[in-house]
Structure 1
Amino acid sequence: MVNSVVDLILPKPRSRWASVKRLKKLWLSLAGIAVIGVLVAGVMLWPTTPPDLSVGHRMLSSGVVSSWRDGDLIVLIRHEERCDRSSNPCLGPADGLTVAGTVIATAVGKAFQTLGMSNSDVLSSPATRTAQTSLFMFGKTELSPGPLAICGNAMADELLAHKANGRNLLLVTHSACISDLEKELGYPRAAHAEYGSALFVKVDANGKLKALGVMNTKDWPAALKQL
């Protein structure tokens, strides 16, 4: 009987260097996953829009009410419903408000009256819809100086130039201008401002601006009940 002889080739033992390389690759992969996870979490947790002032008791807890009484606020208010982008009946010119927009503007003005307007100044951008909003909301129209709205990258400085010490400044303006200020205050991805919504911004003792929150028109009644 002939015995078959099978030649076995034993694998070479892996070198220590190869093991180190494998561990290094694994470590780099895990580190990459961890970095991506941190970035994703940061994006998810980073605030995209100033706080909603109608939630809870934020009108009080955010400092809006106390800052309002001290005259330390700048409030940007978007004009109400514009006629040329609505099927609702117009008040007058196509570049102005709808009739429904004037009704809502009047209601929002009453909400501001509840806060008190004795230490507040009102300006509006030089557009028909903003001037009309100011008229129905606050009973007057005073246009900001110059032919253009207060907007752009240097908006904060321009607003401060129009604000008197100890007096709130209310500016009836446009959604694009509100977005400009929100970007300047650290909210580059803020939600588009609704018709009649108000962005409340505090001016501290050093002239620095901080966004306290946003109030939308429909939320005023519930928010005022918390005061």
Structure 2
Amino acid sequence: MVRNEPINSEVEFAGGIWDTWWIPLGEEVYLHYATDVTRYKKMEEELRHLSVTDVLTNTYNRRYFTHKLEEEIERAKRSGNKFSLIMLDIDCFKSINDCFGHNAGDLVLKSMAELIKNRIRKIDTLARWGGEEFIILLPDTTVKNAVHLAEELRESLSRMDIPGVGSVTASFGVAGCCPEDTIDTLVNRADNMMYEAKAAGRNCVRYMNECE
């Protein structure tokens, strides 16, 4: 014991989590007790998961993604490492909802999110940005490699056969982080590239290769 101070720690034991205390009562005499806090820890983890997750697609939500992007921008400034963003939007999504119903639209969103999650790395971050828009943070990734991934995802998505809907497509925009970037400037650049893909006829990838 340090200066006869109580020691508190959490211990995993017998499949549970225990909050343990060692309290000094005198020389070489201690009171020890433990409380099973497994249920509370599971509730805490569930609440944390809900706070950072989009319920429908089980991807991260916009708030969590913004936090991760801010961290990555600061890391890039310190290390000089490159990273990129991919922004994508399902083409003609309103028509999917109008023709097949909102349940079908939800299935499209979930199917696309699952496809992307199964392809990206553990260090990458996928989030639902809003509506039918998704965004991917790719640490230590050049624009060239991000474009290659975007093309692969675009092709894979267009080949999917979604029950009750058939095939769908998406438009992709790619941008790399520049030294002066903020969250807003970087996301806006990826967003602008995505809308260029829309304007070019949809189901394609557009990117900005250099910092200006």
Which interval holds the TM-score relative to the shorter structure? under 0.3
TM-score by length of 1: 0.26
Answer 1 or 2: higher relative contact order, Cα 8 Å, separation at least 6.
1
Q: Which has the higher strand share?
A: 2
